[in-house]
Structure 1
């Protein structure tokens, strides 16, 4: 029987990751809400506002994704959980969808629907699922008391 290996992480990088990781999700959810409102009302302001929210969300997604990239794919003597790789891949898919969505939203407001709303939904679904998966390996560990 072997002892489990201690997960070595930079506490500064982990703190920065935990601070910035939820911010893009909020912007992407707001963009999805704005897309739905635009789909219902055809008021161009909602589409343009969604474009800004997607752009700001992508801007804030850079730092945590770079930290996660190094953490998952350059492990430095620690084992990487399969959930961490799935979390990274789902975030990657969500961000690629958000980049495509930013290009879609740069069109004239009437040309955004329905592809802009679909890409917003894909982005939110991927990142929400990745946050749920990440909660399994970032949850505090409890000691077993007998």
Structure 2
């Protein structure tokens, strides 16, 4: 009697990729909360906080996007994840440009773009952690 061994290859997320992806959503959420605080108080420092949190979110999104592209090149099937990250990066980039304006001129556009970027970051994080597995964990 012969026995055959079936080897299933799981898509493994690299720990650095997971750490970077885990930092994307909280930074966009922090920028959203700072934008909301600025919208409700018009204290200019909240606008500065939001701009710096967006810079951090863009750095993390860029690193996660690079890791996702490397994963695509290596043969994993994570195209929807990479597409959502690209859209998140684009919205975050234009949101950062909008935040570079005068603090009095950024509302309400900055708040709307930050809400969209935060929702996209949430979707990207959800897709990334639900489809990419670490080892045999299900």
User: Which bin holds the TM-score, normalised by the shorter protein?
Assistant: 0.7 to 0.9
Residues 1-146 of structure 1: matches in 2 within 5 Å? 6-7=9-10, 14-72=14-72, 74-75=73-74, 78=75, 80=77, 84-139=78-133, 141=136
Aligned length: 132
Instruction: Single out whichever of 41-50 and 54-63 deviates more from structure 2.
Output: 54-63
Distance 2:69 2:52 in 1: 26
Asked if the contact 1:7–1:79 (Cα under 8 Å) also holds between the matched residues in 2, the reply is no
Map Cα deviations across residues 19-67 of structure 1 (whole Å, 9 max, x no partner): 2111122111000001111111111111111011101221233222111
2:123 is paired with a residue of what secondary structure?
A: helix
TM-score (norm 2): 0.83
Q: Which ranges of structure 2 fall in alignment gaps of 5 or more residues?
A: 1-5
1:21 is paired with a residue of what secondary structure?
A: helix
Which structure would you say has the larger RCO, counting Cα contacts within 8 Å and 6 or more residues apart?
Answer: 2
Q: Which ranges of structure 1 fall in alignment gaps of 5 or more residues?
A: none
Instruction: Single out whichever of 18-27 and 38-47 deviates more from structure 2.
Output: 18-27
Q: How much does 1:136 deviate?
A: 2.3
TM-score (norm 1): 0.79
CA RMSD, 1 decimal = 2.2
Specify whether residues 131 and 19 from structure 1 end up closer, same or farther in structure 2 by C-alpha distance, changes over 3 A only. Answer: same
